[in-house]
Chains A and B, each alone.
Chain A
Amino acid sequence: MEEATTPIEPSAAATEVGAAGTDAHAEAAAAHAPHGHHGPPTGFIRKYIFSIDHKVIGIQYLLLAIFAAFTGMFMSVLMRLNLTWPGHKWTILETIFPLGAPGGVMTPEFYLSLVTMHGTMMVFFVLTTAPQGGFGNYFLPIQVGAEDMAFPVLNMLSFWVTLVGLLVLISAIFVEGSTIVGNTDFVNNFLGGGGTGTLGPIGGWTGYPPLSALGKVAGPGQGAGATLWITSIAIFCIASLLGALNFITTLLNMRTRGMSLMRMPLTCWSWFTTAILALLAFPVLLAAGVLLLLDRHAGTSFFIPGGLVFNDVVQAHKGGSPILWQHLFWFFGHPEVYIAILPGMGATSHILSTFARKPVFGYRAMVFAMFAIGLLGFFVWGHHMFISGMDPRTSIAFSVLTLSIGVPSAIKTFNWLGTLWGAKIRFTVPMMFAIGFVSLFVAGGITGLVLGQTSLDLFIHDGYFVLAHFHLVMGVAAIFGMFAGVYFWFPKMFGRMMSERLGQLHFWPTFIGVYCIFVPMHIMGIVGMPRRYASFQEYDFLRPLDPLVLLVTIAAIVTAAAQFIFLFNFIWSIFKGKRASGNPWEATTLEWVTPTTPPPHDNFGGHLPTVYRGPYEFAVPDAPEDYVMQTTPDAGEGNVAAAGAGQGSGQGVQGSSGNGHNGQH
């Protein structure tokens, strides 16, 4: 089968196709060095640290997100512990957080700072970073048949700026009243002063003013910590903008021969839509952040109303509007929800089709639904503000638009079900997580129809019902999309399979666990349990909920523990997993035709593939296999392929080699 390889690169293709999945990136890169158009970098730092290779950057993003996810998860477990056993003395906490938990007892301010940091960490550095920055970076160029991103240096920059954002966010935890950096000249003069005895800002991830705008006087965590928090978000905005610009340009300008827009995998469509949303939404948050920083440090009054008295001191600000922040923030905030979930939708469509061995049901409708969701997402921010004193006529408009998002969402859901209908499903771990995504998306999305109605929202707002809704649909569903992506693409990224058995062991406790966490929360919300309270001891009417609170906490701990199975599986499989073939899942898209696994530095060994068909041609009648690669020419187009020198046929070889190596099913 090697005889068909391209004349220009006999050595690389011949050796690497056969030994698909030889260990290291390094090896593959070295094999291609003499042929590369822009030679792969040599030296550890250029190759793995300050790399401009989109694949390395994608993995860097992914690792950053995994770190942030585990940190955020740790914080959520602490919150559950405090909610369930308020006032309990956790001796170990005193050693970790001497200020936040003096004597091992968590203070309410500590709880609030956990809420803030958990939210910020998860929304920005996990939900926005991993699906787009991680998988999008790694697979968008490969799936459209490009050698790299359009602006590789910008790509590297966007990762490093993101990392700086994360570090600044983490520093917000330590700057407040800490013995290490607390109340130094720098903190007092430039950041607005340290607080006492807390840990990080306490304003929540939405940072509503005036609490977030007044500085130290507003609360123990609101001095330097809040300054660093808003700075971190501003930095993150810039990183996201750089990334989004790169994604869109790459997709528009670098698709390979034959890769028309309607032949792109749905993953690419989802990254494209997400990038557009990010490009238009993050500048608004950046603007809001600048205004907030000016309010905090330059004495302006954009968000701060007049006549505020804090600690018996009349504040000098006057005439600002806290509602203005809410408008700006949620104009970003609602598209942000779709920034988090759309890549999960793309990955789910991709994976469902692959393991159902059927084309995606209604490909075109899926694309349009995705764009409809993205577009409508810009006109519904008001539903976060129904209780802000909004004109009822305005809220009706927002309400109708919000409910109308149900239509494209339902189109997507029914198309997923249509894809699964009558299929001989291969229940691999990525497939289970993708099905889990559909389940969670429906379970979480359906309550969106409840919350989108003004009259119902007025009652439920700021309670556990909202908490349960957005955690299910934007948090956990998106995370399931990421897990599906990790299990699905791991063989391509690292050349090895993740353990199926450990994957199952990870899936079931996680899937059942998240339902045990978030379904009871809906009930708590309807009973009237408010968000962001450190403890409910004082409220007699909530006492009957104690067993549910305990159940949720136990479920949370079990679910959190199950994530370590994933972490172990991930790390162990990088080094010890079963070697993967070039196309272990018998999938059809371009990432599975790379000459080596993991792909070489320029993805296709110097020869971009030619695409002849759509992305999901499974179960094609009269085809030799039950799937046809995108690079396989039609019988009638054979002469075209022949004219294309080694191009098409070389890729065809790769496709069939994938069959031979299939050890998965």
Chain B
Amino acid sequence: MVTTVSTKPAGGVSTGTKNVHIGGTGRRATGGNGSRGGGQPPNGGGGDGGRERAFRDAAPQQYRIGMWLALSAILMMFAALSSAYVFRSTRTQQGWQAFSVPSMLWVSTALILASSATVEVARRALRRGASEVYRRWLVLSLALGFGFLVAQLLAWRGLVGQGIYLATNPHSSFFYLLTGLHALHLFGGIVGLCYLMLRGRRDATASGAAGKQLARVDAVGLYWHFMDGLWVYLFALLFLWR
């Protein structure tokens, strides 16, 4: 991992945060500097070292691209499971007994929606350069994330109290499976937030790490929003399609 060379001035903070430019790499190369993806600052320093440096600054972009790719893989997995769910609930309905919405799920939905908002506030605060505000909202997001997991766990316990287990019937199997896998992925998001917290101290002191930090926050934020949307989708699938 290239970590050493970036000495970009603070202006790079705002340029590095454009959207991921996956399709945009097909431009004709001219043999000059311009063959990289979007959001690059113009290369000021002539000579060899300057050109090298301009290239290294493309590195933050890779966090965003990597995250989009990871999300597409996760999306495929849940798409496969959703199709299995729909297939099972329509084609072979044998033993299909849907239960009504555990009320705890409304709480968890509210929590995750709120957490998505706080992550976004934190992200924007960092982009403004307000790193103390950023840290505070990050902590709040983390708390909401844990709150969501606890609410999910309580919902599970409620169902177990009613005698509804994983193997009880197909609907409950899919319920536990989908919510469980989502919780697992959300836990990954929590790990990501923790990483940002730990990383934040180092990034605050290291010079020129701002672009990378923004990219990391963008990536984790993207993941978090995706988990939020995924939960809303799963909630709708499990209880509207039954």
Contacts and interface: CB of A to CB of B under 8 A. Distances in A.
A284 B72 CA distance: 12
Contacts of B31: 257-258, 610-612, 633, 637, 640
B95 A245 contact: no
Nearest to A645: B48
Contacts of B77: 283-284, 286-287
Given A150-B66, A327-B87, A300 B167 contact: yes
A287 B58 contact: no
A640 B22 contact: no
A318 B95 contact: yes
A324 B29 CA distance: 47
A13 to B, nearest CB: 13
A294 B166 contact: yes
Interface string A280-312: 111110111011001000111110011000000
Interface in B13-59: 22, 25-33, 35, 37, 47-48, 51-52, 55, 58-59
A102 interface: no
A536 to B, nearest CB: 36
Contacts of B74: 283
B135 interface: no
Contact of A241 (B33, B58, B73): B73
Contacts of A249: 62, 65-66, 69
Interface stretch (A177-185, A259-267, A655-663): A259-267
Contact of B65 (A253, A257, A298): A253
Interface string A87-116: 000000000000000000000000000000
A299 B167 contact: yes
Given A249-B62, A280-B73, A260 B27 contact: yes
A206 to B, nearest CB: 17
A279 interface: yes
Interface in A598-623: 607-608, 610-612
A37 B72 CA distance: 33
A291 B95 contact: no
Interface in B50-102: 51-52, 55, 58-59, 61-62, 65-66, 69-70, 72-81, 83-84, 87-88, 91-96
Contact of B173 (A150, A280, A294, A644): A294
B177 interface: yes
B95 A301 contact: yes
A260 B31 CA distance: 9
Contact of B88 (A290, A324, A612): A324
Nearest to B69: A245
A531 interface: no
Contacts of A392: none
A138 interface: no
B160 interface: no
A233 to B, nearest CB: 14
Interface string A123-136: 00000000000000
Contacts of B55: 256-257, 608
A456 to B, nearest CB: 28
Given A283-B73, A287-B77, A608-B55, A301 B173 contact: yes
A280 B72 CA distance: 7
A255 interface: yes
B204 interface: no
A38 B26 contact: no
B170 A319 contact: yes
Given A258-B30, A280-B73, A324-B88, A248 B65 contact: yes
Contact of A640 (B4, B32, B35, B173): B32
Contacts of A253: 37, 58-59, 61-62, 65
Contact of A302 (B22, B47, B88, B93): B88
A448 B37 CA distance: 40
A645 B47 CA distance: 7
A508 B88 CA distance: 52
Interface string A36-71: 011000000000000000000000000000000000
Interface residues of B, number: 56
A282 B77 CA distance: 8
Q: For chain A, which range describes its interface: under 10, 10 to 19, 20 to 34, or 35 or more residues?
A: 35 or more
A612 B65 CA distance: 26
Interface in A324-345: 324, 327-328, 331
Given A260-B26, A299-B166, A254 B58 contact: yes
B25 A261 contact: yes
A320 interface: yes
Contacts of A610: 31
Most buried by B among A8, A287, A291: A287
Contacts of A262: 26
B162 interface: no
A280 B31 CA distance: 34
B1 interface: yes
B73 A291 contact: no
Contacts of A612: 31
A6 interface: yes
Contacts of A301: 95, 167, 170, 173
Contacts of B83: 327
Contacts of A280: 72-73, 76
B106 to A, nearest CB: 26
A284 B29 contact: no
A328 B84 contact: yes
Nearest to B46: A643
B232 interface: no
B65 A153 contact: no
A147 B48 CA distance: 16
B173 A300 contact: yes
Contacts of A402: none
A410 B125 CA distance: 55
B226 to A, nearest CB: 14
Contacts of B75: 283
Contacts of A263: 29
B206 interface: no
Given A150-B66, A259-B29, A318-B95, A324 B87 contact: yes
B240 interface: no
A306 B35 CA distance: 60
A167 to B, nearest CB: 24
B205 interface: no
Nearest to B31: A258
21 contacts: A147-B2, A150-B62, A150-B66, A248-B65, A249-B65, A249-B66, A253-B37, A253-B61, A260-B25, A280-B76, A290-B181, A291-B81, A291-B84, A294-B173, A305-B92, A306-B95, A319-B94, A327-B83, A328-B84, A608-B52, A640-B31
9 A-B pairs with least C-beta separation: A319-B94, A299-B167, A283-B77, A283-B76, A287-B80, A260-B29, A319-B95, A284-B80, A300-B173
Given A8-B48, A256-B35, A611-B29, 18 more contacts: A152-B1, A241-B73, A255-B25, A257-B31, A257-B32, A257-B35, A279-B76, A283-B76, A284-B79, A300-B166, A301-B95, A301-B170, A302-B88, A305-B92, A306-B95, A324-B87, A331-B80, A612-B31
